[in-house]
A = this chain, B = another copy of it.
């Protein structure tokens, strides 16, 4: 990156139009993630950042497994508004690497339901070590239903995406068959 003179700084919105490349990058970040960073709200309205392990439900909604002994679970059960950061990581400047912020609504998956059986199997397929504790009484599977996403592909590569942008063609309702 060359140094840009101060008088040539961009003044307008830095958001680029969403294209196929941005959608593909967003999906690959979400598909490959094994951990995410969750932002939730404390009872006093203060934000709270924490680590979660991550998998995808069959409709590609992010799925987390959380203990009711932990602060973020109490936060999510009190106020379902949350934000999930998925970052690819890498060497050098941390800001040079792609990451995506998902604005989500937390939806606990009720136990003893077909939905739970499917979500549990999907979670364990992606996170096999969670078999040690997934059935503990205090653990909950929670879907993080995506409302909106902000993708940053590296310096100057910012995009705003909808939930629809994150559904791959083969799962989209209007995808051609065959």
Contacts and interface: CB of A to CB of B under 8 A. Distances in A.
Interface of A: 1, 3-4, 6, 9-10, 14, 34-35, 37-41, 45-54, 69-71, 81-85, 87, 89, 92-96, 99, 101, 103, 127, 129-130, 132-133, 135-138, 150, 152, 155, 158
7 contacts: A35-B89, A35-B94, A37-B49, A46-B81, A47-B83, A53-B93, A92-B129
Contacts of A49: 37-39, 49, 83-85, 101
Most B-side CB within 10 Å, residue of A6, A38, A51? A51
Nearest to A93: B129
Given A41-B47, A54-B94, 15 more contacts: A4-B136, A9-B138, A37-B85, A39-B48, A39-B49, A45-B45, A46-B83, A47-B81, A48-B83, A48-B101, A48-B103, A50-B99, A51-B87, A51-B99, A92-B129
Count identical subunits in the complex: 2
A87 B138 contact: no
A34 B90 CA distance: 11
A49 B127 CA distance: 23
**Closest A-B pairs by Cβ, 5 of them:** A39-B39, A35-B94, A37-B37, A39-B47, A49-B85
